[in-house]
Structure formats: structure tokens, C-alpha cells
Amino acid sequence: MDILKKKIMKTLDLHGVKHADAPQLIDQFIWEQMNKNSKEIEIVTGISQTMKEVVIKTLKDYDFNYNEVWNNPGKLIISLV
């Protein structure tokens, strides 16, 4: 019998984080998750368009692919592979 594996997503929630502090937190989070061999992560930006732009700029600096969650535009899914 097959056992269904629950997909465990690692999440960084940026609610309450200052825009200027976000890039360093994102760098640290990505580094930690890559060391844990995570394949995907999610970053919650909330409704702040500025925060989303900060996150996207940081992801582009590292050339990571990302997608917005269709039913939650305040969340990005990032592929680390």
C-alpha cells in the first residue's frame, strides 16, 4: 500500500518586518533552507506591494524562479533547484 507523503513547506513570514531588513532575512532563510536540501520554500509578503518588490528583487539577484500563489497574492513559492 502506498503511503501519501505530506509536502512540508518551509516558510518565511515577513509580516511586521521592515523593508530594509527583509533582504538580509531572505538571504539567511534561503541559505539555511539550501543547507537543508529544501527544494521549495515560501515567503509571505502580506499585502505590501513594496515588500513583494523587495523580495522579488532579492530572488532575481540569485536567479531563483518564483510563482505567486493564485489564491493568495501575498505569498510567493520559490524553487531552490
Across 22-51, average pLDDT:
95
Q: Which pLDDT score is estimated for 21?
A: 97
Tell me the domains of the chain and their CATH numbers.
Answer: 10-79 (3.30.1370.110)
Q: What is the pLDDT of residues 38-73, one digit of tens each?
A: 999 999 999 999 999 999 999 999 999 999 988 998
H, E, C per residue of the chain: CCCCCCCCCEEEECCCCCHHHHHHHHHHHHHHHHHCCCCEEEEECCCCHHHHHHHHHHHHHCCCEEEEECCEEEEEEEECC
Q: pTM, whole model, 2 decimals?
A: 0.86
The mean predicted confidence, pLDDT, of the chain is: 90
Confidence of residue 75 (pLDDT cuts 50, 70, 90): very high
Q: Is the pLDDT of residue 1 over 50?
A: no
